[in-house]
Amino acid sequence: MGVVMGDVEANSDSKLREEIVAGNGLLNRRTLLRGALLSAGIAAAGTAIVDAQENVGADAPEWMKTPGRPFSAYGTPSKWQEKVQRIFTLGPGRAGTGVSRTPLHLMEGTITPGGLHFERHHNGVPDIDPSRHELFIHGMVKRPLAFSLDAMMRYPMETRIYFVECAGNSGAYGAPQPAQITAGELNGLISCSEWTGVRLSTLLAEAGVNKEAKWVIAEGGDAAAMSRSIPLQKCMDDAMVALYQNGEAIRPEQGFPMRLLLPGFEGNMNVKWLRRLNVIDEPVDARDETSHYTELMPGGKARQFMFAMSAKSAILKPSFGMNMKGAGLYEISGLAWSGAGRISKVEISADAGKTWALAALTAPVLPKALTRFRLPWQWDGRPSTLMSRATDEVGGTQPTRASWVAEYAPGQGYHNNGIQSWGVGADGTVKNVYA
Amino acid sequence: MSMPKCLGIFPAAAFFLLPCICGAQGPNLGRPLTPEEIKKVDITVVPDGRGLPSGSGSVSAGAAVYAKTCQSCHGSQGAGKPQDQLTGGLGTLASGKPVKTPASYWPVATTLFDYIRRAMPITSPQSLTNDEVYAVTAYILSIDGIVPADTVLDAKSLPRVKMPNKDGFVTWWPKPPR
């Protein structure tokens, strides 16, 4: 799986033991940073002398001996990366309603490239002519206004990094038996981008919101006219009309020319292809806030308007489909996030939750954004169960899978933030397990 | 929500103050909308009936619309397949095998009208007349007896339809109930 960090056999056992902070070989999160396992003194490499009659290219790879290919107008990933694709349940090329997922297990860092951002469409991706698109703000306002893209471009903008997570992300984790699917298939309905746009509160202030207003009905310009009720409070807080994603115009799949961005709130509310904001005094019980995106509980009642995504994490390395190549030092790595704010800590267990160790969080740790965590692990080659547990700055933390499942009626899949487990076998295979 | 009164007097100060209050101050480039322009695009329907258009539709007219426009995806009498099941499932929500349909799960009937009007049929959304949308809403609701077979739905009667699961939702906003 390509994360073997080095050979520690040369180190004394005592050195290793000093670094262990939790059961089954979890090491201090600063171990590798300090180089605590390195043996002192590295022999100087011998200096080779090339014969005067030899050209240095004799042993060079061919790509060093001929000029490379020309410049390109818009770069694409290396051909060696062609497996890094969005993940489909039903296959690409289908319009209508459905999803594609971000291949989280094949990626690193925290930012999702535009072309790998997960998709959720309710009737395909509209091909919107930006010159014919306006955002209407009307309803309980003093001055109903339309904003063209050109007009919007002249507004003060801000740039912030946020995740967008579908409410149905990790829904398969509620299944009675653990699905043997990759971490991307399980958790890939989340992506994280640098978004640039105009604060929604700026536009609403210009329209002049009336006192009786409490909600804003957002509507997309797609062939589903996707619509959600958004609390006015959120709209006046950190909501944004996003125009750019990772420095380029928002991709069509993400709402070109403009989308609503509600940091930390379930993905469906971040209405893409935003065309209308109707300021109003009550929610409308839209189809996607009644039929869908509501959470049925065991007694038959359903939670409605559970907007913010809860603290959550997933170990991506190692994860299902990877093979650990024998005992040794590995880096456990994954992503954590919370719709309530910053991640304050991520704990890792290598013994099915008996003991936990603090993972290192990669700076910057931003609110409502993906946070990368890492922890060195000295795997002894025996069967192990890995878990991660995220806690956010308001104290929200992940429940066990069992307690999450007990909260909801059978078969429910929204807002699943139960602690996930990977089982590492003695043969190095990694499986999804319920522990 | 309204901007502080001092802004007109101290525009420079406002530039620094506003981000904390309601975002940056914009250049006021919104194009004023006329009531006619709004009317053309405002398809919002509120559960109390606000926003419902004129027109009406009967169960029998709806059966014809359904057969022609909906049945190929939603099955005979809304039984579902290949797409969502629209009927049945009543009483299943607490059963351990919940079946969510408009009849068993949706709290208000206006949602059905609103969703059909804005998004259905999926191959040609927004192509049905308001009369047809009222009619097919009436037909779907009649299959489970939520409305009688002689029902005609319109802007007055639709909001009065009592859905079986009207009290089935507990709001989690602004915070979960205690």
Nearest to B158 by CA among B44, B43, B55, B42: B55
Chains A and B form CB pairs within 8 A to the count of 192
Any CB–CB contact under 8 A between A308 and chain B? no
Q: How do residues A296-353 score in pLDDT, each as one tens digit?
A: 999 999 999 999 999 999 999 999 999 999 999 999 999 999 999 999 999 999 999 9
The tokens for A188 are 């890939």
Say yes or no to pLDDT of A150 above 90: yes
Nearest-Cα distance to chain A for B52, in Å, is 12
In chain A, the residue whose alpha carbon lies closest to the alpha carbon of B92 is: A300
Q: Distance between CA A374 and CA A132 in Å, rounded?
A: 47
- Between CA B67 and CA A24 the distance in angstroms is 63
**Which segments of A310-415 does DSSP mark as H helices, in order?**
401-407
Closest CA to A422 of A312, A323, A319, A336: A319
Q: Specify burial of residue A404 (Cβ count, 10 A radius: 0-12, 13-18, 19+).
A: buried
User: Is the CB of residue A36 less than 8 Å from the CB of residue A19?
Assistant: yes
Tell me the C-alpha distance between A272 and A302, whole Å.
26
Residue A89's pLDDT is what?
77
Confidence at residue A304, expressed as pLDDT on a 0 to 100 scale: 98
What is the pLDDT, as a whole number, of residue A109? 98
* Mean pLDDT value across residues A282-300: 97
Residue ranges of chain A that CATH labels 3.90.420.10: 130-293
Average pLDDT over residues A118-128: 96
Note whether B47 contacts A282, CB cutoff 8 Å.
Answer: yes
Q: Which residues of B touch A97 (CB under 8 A)?
A: 122
**A144 interfacial to chain B (CB closer than 8 Å):** yes
CB B144 within 8 A of CB B87: yes
B20 — contact with chain A (CB < 8 Å)?
no
State the burial class of residue A276 (Cβ atoms within 10 Å of its Cβ: 0-12, 13-18, 19+): buried
Give which of A244, A264, A250, A251 is closest to A369, Cα–Cα: A264
**CB A422, CB A319: distance < 8 Å:** yes
**Stretch A6-15: mean pLDDT, rounded?**
57
Contacts of A217 (CB under 8 A, 6+ apart): A139, A227, A228, A229, A230, A276, A277, A278, A280, A283, A284, A286, B44
Q: Which two tokens stand for residue A83?
A: 């497996």
Spatial distance between the Cα atoms of A217 and A223, rounded to a whole number of angstroms:
17
- What pLDDT, in 10s, does the model give residues B98-126? 999 999 999 999 999 999 999 999 999 99
The DSSP call for residue A323 is B
Contact B97 A282 (CB under 8 A): no
Shortest distance, CA B148 to any CA of chain A (angstroms): 23
Contact across the interface for B22 and A296, Cβ inside 8 Å:
no
Cβ contacts of A203 on chain B, cutoff 8 Å: 26, 30
Pinpoint the residues of chain A covered by CATH 2.60.40.650.
312-433
Question: CB distance B98–A409 less than 8 Å?
Answer: yes
- Residue B5: predicted pLDDT: 41
Q: What is the pLDDT of residue A46?
A: 55
Is residue A5 pLDDT above 90, yes or no?
A: no
- At B56 the pLDDT is 98
Number of Cβ within 10 Å of residue A152's Cβ equals 21
| Residue A258 Cα distances to A56, A198, B108, B125, angstroms | 54, 10, 31, 22
Among chain A residues, CA nearest to B177: A303
CATH topology of domain A130-293: Sulfite Oxidase; Chain A, domain 2 (3.90.420)
The closest CB to that of A224, out of B44, B102, B125, belongs to B125
Best CA proximity match to A81, nearest among A123, A125, A116: A116
The closest CB to that of A144, out of B32, B168, B170, belongs to: B32
Does position A93 have pLDDT exceeding 80, yes or no?
A: no
Give the pair of three-digit tokens for residue A407: 């909260």
Q: Is residue B2's pLDDT more than 80?
A: no
Give the dihedral of Cα atoms A191, A194, A198, A202; nearest 10 deg.
80
Longest dimension (CA), chain B: 67
Q: Is the peptide bond before A283 cis (omega within 30 degrees of 0)?
A: no
pLDDT average, residue stretch A350-357? 98
Partner A, chain B 104-163, Cβ-Cβ below 8 Å? 105-108, 110-111, 114-115, 118-119, 122, 125-126
Give the C-alpha separation, A339 to A396, whole Å.
10
Question: Residue B169 and residue A301: Cβ atoms within 8 Å?
Answer: yes
Residue among B30, B37, B171 minimizing CB distance to A147: B30
Q: Residue A307 in 3-state DSSP?
A: coil
For B104, the closest chain A residue by CA position comes to: A291
CA-wise closest residue to A283 among B1, B134, B45: B45
**For residue B24, what pLDDT band results from cuts at 50, 70 and 90?**
low
Give residue-wise pLDDT tens across range A174-208. 999 999 999 999 999 999 999 999 999 999 999 99
What domains, with CATH codes, occur in chain B? 7-35 (no CATH), 45-160 (1.10.760.10)
Q: What is the pLDDT of residue A52?
A: 72
Task: Residue A310: name the closest of A416, A172, A215, A225 by CA.
Answer: A416
Amino acid at A143: R
Structure tokens at A167: 């409410």
Confidence band for A50, pLDDT divided at 50, 70 and 90: low
Specify the 3-state DSSP secondary structure of A243.
Answer: strand
Q: Say if residue A47's pLDDT is above 70.
A: no
pLDDT on residue A148: 98
Question: Of A200, A226, A231, A198, which Cα lies nearest the Cα of A213?
Answer: A231
Contact between B66 and B120 (Cβ < 8 Å): no
What is the reported pLDDT for A56?
82
Q: How far apart are CA A121 and CA A189, in angstroms?
A: 12
* Through-space distance between the first and last CA atoms of chain A, rounded to whole angstroms: 23
A38 band by pLDDT with thresholds 50, 70 and 90: low
Where does the pLDDT of residue B15 fall: very low under 50, low under 70, confident under 90, or very high at 90 and above? very low
- Proportion of chain B above pLDDT 90, given as a percent: 84
Q: Predicted ipTM?
A: 0.90
Which residue's structure tokens are 């991660």?
A388
Window 23-62 of B, Cβ < 8 Å to A: 23-33, 37-38, 41-48
Region of residue B137 (left: phi > 0; alpha: psi -120 to 50; beta: else): alpha
Residue A12 has pLDDT above 90, yes or no: no
Cβ-defined contact of B3 to A205 (cutoff 8 Å): yes
Question: A304, B24: Cβ pair inside 8 Å?
Answer: no
Give the Cα-Cα-Cα angle B108, B111, B114 (nearest 5 degrees).
150
Residue with token string 């040369």: A10
Indicate the residue of B24, B30, B97 with minimum beta-carbon distance to A145. Answer: B30
Put simply, the answer to whether B108 touches A285 (Cβ < 8 Å) is: yes
Mean pLDDT score of chain A: 93
Return the CATH number of A312-433, one of 3.90.1150.10, 2.60.40.650, 3.40.50.2300, 2.60.40.10: 2.60.40.650
Residue B10 has pLDDT above 80, yes or no: no
pLDDT band at A39 (very low <50, low <70, confident <90, very high): low
Question: How many residues would you count in chain B?
Answer: 178
Question: Quick check: A278 and B111 CB within 8 A?
Answer: no
Print the SS3 string covering chain B. Answer: CCCCHHHHCCHHHHHHHHHHHCCCCCCCCCEECCHHHHHHHCCCCCCCCCCCCCCEEEHHHHHHHHHHHCHHHHCHHHCCCCCCCCCCCCCCCCCCCCCCCCCCCCCCCHHHHHHHHHHCCCCCCCCCCHHHHHHHHHHHHHHCCCCCCCCEEECCCHHHCCCCCCCCEEECCCCCCC
- pLDDT band with cut points at 50, 70 and 90 for residue A270: very high
Return the pLDDT at A94. Answer: 72
